[in-house]
Chains A and B, each alone.
Chain A
Amino acid sequence: MCGIAGLIHRGKSSKVGYELQGMLQALKHRGEDSTGYALYGDTDGKNFIMRFKVGENVGEGSTSVAEDVSVYDERKKIVDNYLNEMGAKIIKEERILPYSLRYEIEYNKKDLLEFSQKIESIPGVEILSMGKSLEVIKDLGNAKMVCDRYNLDKLVGTHAIGHARMATESGVDIKSAHPFWGYPFSDVSVVHNGQLTNYWNNRRALENKGMRFMSECDSELIAVYLAEKMRDGASLEEGMKESLIGLDGVFTYFVATKDSLGMAKDTMAAKPLVLYESDDLVAMGSEEIAIRSILPQEIDTYDPFDGEVKVWQI
């Protein structure tokens, strides 16, 4: 059992980091092995923001093997060298935690596949997100712990999705935590609640087509599945509708891009979702209490039906 939450402000920005923290904290009883945020912040859109990790959080019930912290510095140096080799210029650098970094980089090539493959060829390095608005932050612990650790409550933006995880299919570590970046597409992220039963069949087929998986978490399949559909020319909504047939199991998932937020529910409607929609705000979560954390007044909400796909623009 996991909890997912998402919101999109239409026509204005807000403190989406703070708001999503409240929504996810309200769902912490659904799992607090790890919590992840995909925040779409207000930026000038010129530079890429790359969130990446050079190691794992080995505390707080982690299933990861502890490493000598000195390897983090060595990996970071190699990342810096590779960025330089590829013509990417680091504009701003933040090392939030020994294993977690945020770079603002100037990089003019559009294809991020080669870029990502080069960076992730360094053992232990994973790009959590790459985009001109998207920032994926995920770590072990509940929503408030992760929010406080990464100072997310002041982040201003238009929309966000997040995930409170109870690990069932894979390890308790950052690489298995949601959200998943829609590698190698800029500004695409996915969170999921449920189980996918044709994970390995789909994974093998997608890997044969050159797609990359970083974990053994079945939820990552959704991000890769949608990325492959979009690579072949499908729109986000078309890809999501195809996923209702291509993905087997029970699921509700959210996907976000630079300017949109979508949800899809499987044809069995086995996983919960409550939705609130108004002219200027859409908020949704696994349980109504997530929405109530930002809208305490009486509101009209509903459960989307089986096989329903919806996409909203900012």
Chain B
Amino acid sequence: MANIKSVSKKTKAQAMGMHTEVLTGRTQQKFFNPDEAENFYYFGTHDVDFNKRTDLDVKDMTAAEANKEIDNLMGQGFGTIVIKNPQGKHSLGVGILNKLNLIFEGSLGYFGMGSCDGPIVRINGRVGWSCAENLMAGKVVIEKNAGSCFGAAIRGGDLICKGSVGARTGIDMKGGTIIIGGDAGAFTGFMMQRGRIIILGDVGINLGDSMYDGTIFVGGEIGSYGSDAVDAELTKGDQDWLKRKLKVAEIDENFDVSKMKKIVAGKKLWNYDNLEPAEKKGAI
């Protein structure tokens, strides 16, 4: 039976003053006030010491047990955690909201490192679908290949795959940078809204389909462009940024960025319903 008493209690969000606004249009925005800083700490985050290191063998653990143990170790102040034998398990390393050096000695399954904000992660293997979904900040480096929906809906941070990735990389992304050392599949950058994707190899069909904004850089061949994805001029600023990003990502700092293609939103799909029929046809 549900706990009736809890209904009358204020939720954490209410206690933080998040539900006092009139919920219309831009009045929903809540701006950060330094005087209320303590209200903006994540619940369950930890202060960790990067020099305090430990290993965790998750071979005989479920994903929930492994994640709980990672949380326990962070609670003890460990700032560098090496995960042994992940063996393709799903949902490992999710929901880490503080700084942490996390190293996986092996491969992850689906949804690895989802909903994280801050950790620096190195995965010495491959990852399955939806790696680092909703990443807010931090850096995730995958040494081998990645599955589809890589970096879905990320808001920030750097997500780097040194191998190839599947379809729909960066789908719905709203910020951050995704860097692919190899090839990428179909619908890369599908409905992306902000952020940048760098692909050094080839990319499949429907690149940047229905993208609202953001930028995609491609070093190899493009299977086809998606609706409203168009070429743009690669500026000197773009090239400098690309060089710096590739160097920081330790992926291929000698790559000739001057020959990369730059793809952006044509923005014809914006206000689509206001277009004339002939314009709609052109936009699609």
Contacts and interface: CB of A to CB of B under 8 A. Distances in A.
Interface of A: 267-270, 272, 274, 287-289, 291-292, 296, 298-303, 305-307
Nearest to B85: A296
Given A289-B87, A301-B126, A303-B145, 13 more contacts: A269-B167, A269-B185, A274-B147, A289-B90, A292-B88, A296-B87, A298-B107, A298-B125, A300-B144, A302-B126, A303-B165, A305-B167, A305-B186
Given A305-B166, A306-B204, A298 B90 contact: no
What are the nearest 3 A-B pairs in CB distance? A269-B167, A288-B88, A303-B166
A272 B129 contact: yes
B222 interface: no
A31 B95 CA distance: 27
A305 B163 contact: no
A245 B109 CA distance: 30
Contacts of B181: none
B162 to A, nearest CB: 12
Nearest to A296: B87
A170 B126 CA distance: 35
A301 B205 CA distance: 23
Given A288-B128, A292-B87, A272 B205 contact: no
B213 interface: no
A268 B167 contact: yes
A302 B88 contact: no
A270 B149 CA distance: 10
A291 B185 contact: no
Nearest to A306: B186
B85 to A, nearest CB: 8
Contacts of B185: 269, 303, 305-306
Interface class of chain A by DSSP:
loop
Contacts of B163: 302
24 contacts: A269-B148, A269-B168, A269-B187, A270-B167, A272-B148, A287-B88, A287-B128, A288-B107, A288-B109, A289-B87, A289-B88, A289-B90, A289-B109, A292-B88, A296-B87, A298-B106, A300-B126, A301-B107, A301-B126, A302-B126, A302-B163, A303-B145, A303-B165, A305-B185
Contacts of B88: 287-289, 291-292
Contacts, number: 73
B187 A302 contact: no
Interface string B230-241: 000000000000
Contacts of A292: 87-88
Contact of B147 (A289, A296, A303, A307): A303
Contacts of B125: 298
A206 to B, nearest CB: 28
A296 B185 CA distance: 27
B164 interface: yes
B203 to A, nearest CB: 10
A267 B186 CA distance: 8
B158 interface: no
Nearest to B165: A303
A305 B183 CA distance: 10
A274 B183 contact: no
Q: Which of A268, A269, A291, A303 has the most CB of B within 10 A?
A: A303
